[in-house]
C-alpha cells in the first residue's frame, strides 16, 4: 500500500480518537458522538498534513518507520482534539446568542 494512503488512514483514525476523547471528557465542547468523530477525523487529517509539511520526516516519504508512524498518530490526535474543541466552542457561542 502506498505510504500516502497509510498516512491518511493513520491521520483519520488518530484524529477520530482524539476528537472523541476530548468531546467525551469536556462536556462544554461536546458535539455528540458523531459530531466529535467527524470533527476529530477532519482535524486529524488537517493536523497531520500541516505537521507533515512542517516536519518532512513525519510524512513517511523515506519509508514507514516507527518514528514517522508515532509522529503521525500524535500530530493527528492533537489536530483532531483541537478542531473538536474549536467547533464545540463555536457551537456553544452560537447557541447562547
42: left (phi over 0), alpha (psi -120 to 50) or beta: alpha
Asked if 39 and 19 touch (Cβ cutoff 8 Å), the reply is: yes
pLDDT digits (tens, 9 = 90+) for 31-60: 999 999 999 999 999 998 888 888 877 665
Total number of domains constituting the chain:
1
Among candidate residues 9, 5, 25, the one with its CA nearest the CA of residue 81: 25
pTM of the model: 0.88
Can you tell me the distance from the alpha carbon of 74 to that of 89, in angstroms, rounded to the nearest whole number? Answer: 23
**Percentage of residues in the chain having pLDDT higher than 70:** 93
Look at residue 62 and tell me whether its pLDDT is greater than 80. Answer: no
Q: What cell was used for 5?
A: 494512503
pLDDT value, residue 61: 58
Angle (nearest 5°) at CA 7 between 85 and 36:
25
The residue range of the domain holding 54 is 3-95
Amino acid at each position: 500500500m502506498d505510504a500516502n494512503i497509510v498516512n491518511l488512514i493513520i491521520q483519520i483514525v488518530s484524529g477520530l480518537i482524539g476528537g472523541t476523547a476530548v468531546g467525551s471528557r469536556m462536556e462544554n465542547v461536546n458535539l455528540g458522538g458523531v459530531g466529535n468523530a467527524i470533527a476529530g477525523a477532519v482535524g486529524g487529517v488537517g493536523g497531520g498534513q500541516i505537521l507533515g509539511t512542517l516536519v518532512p520526516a513525519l510524512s513517511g516519504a523515506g519509508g514507514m518507520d516507527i518514528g514517522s508512524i508515532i509522529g503521525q498518530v500524535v500530530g493527528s490526535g492533537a489536530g483532531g482534539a483541537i478542531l473538536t474543541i474549536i467547533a464545540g466552542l463555536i457551537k456553544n457561542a452560537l447557541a447562547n446568542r
